[in-house]
Structure 1
Amino acid sequence: MVDALFVAVRKAGHQPSVLAFKRKAPIRLGEAEGVRLALVLLATQPIAKHERVRALVAGINAMSVEETYYWYSKCMGLDGNRARKALRTLLAD
């Protein structure tokens, strides 16, 4: 998951060093990077096995921008729990 965070920060035009503990101001991300990062966090939240987390992150990073928007909208909708489970099943199994 940390790799996904670094990728989002780099794509937003920042150095990874902006992720300091002392930082008080928010880091501006582009919409597409923010959606991809949110999708990674939503999909990997309940997973404890590292190899499944890596598979989920790799699968989400391989998605097109349109695909990430689709899954983000599904995961944030009324049946979000079902969509997150479907996404985890699709990418990690």
Structure 2
Amino acid sequence: MLYKQINLELVVAADEADAVVAGLNASLDQLEERHTLFGGEIETIPFEHPRMRKRSALAHTIAAGETVAVAIKAARESVTVVLRAVI
């Protein structure tokens, strides 16, 4: 029979880790009632998270939109200057 191992990595605040582990264990118990699960464990490892957060896809999209708006405004001003020079 073919099996698959499912790996899941979560990062939570240290003071919330115990509550998250308890919730995960409860969810696993419910899953075990409907599916056959073999072994597994929940491991917690403390670490220092760097303060710098990565920007989300939405933040990147907003920044790109702002860049485009600035570029269009600059292009419009250039076209206006050229038209005035031609006229």
**Larger Rg: 1 or 2?**
2
Structure (1/2) with the larger helix percentage: 1
**TM-score, normalised to structure 2's length?**
0.24
**TM-score, normalised to structure 1's length?**
0.22
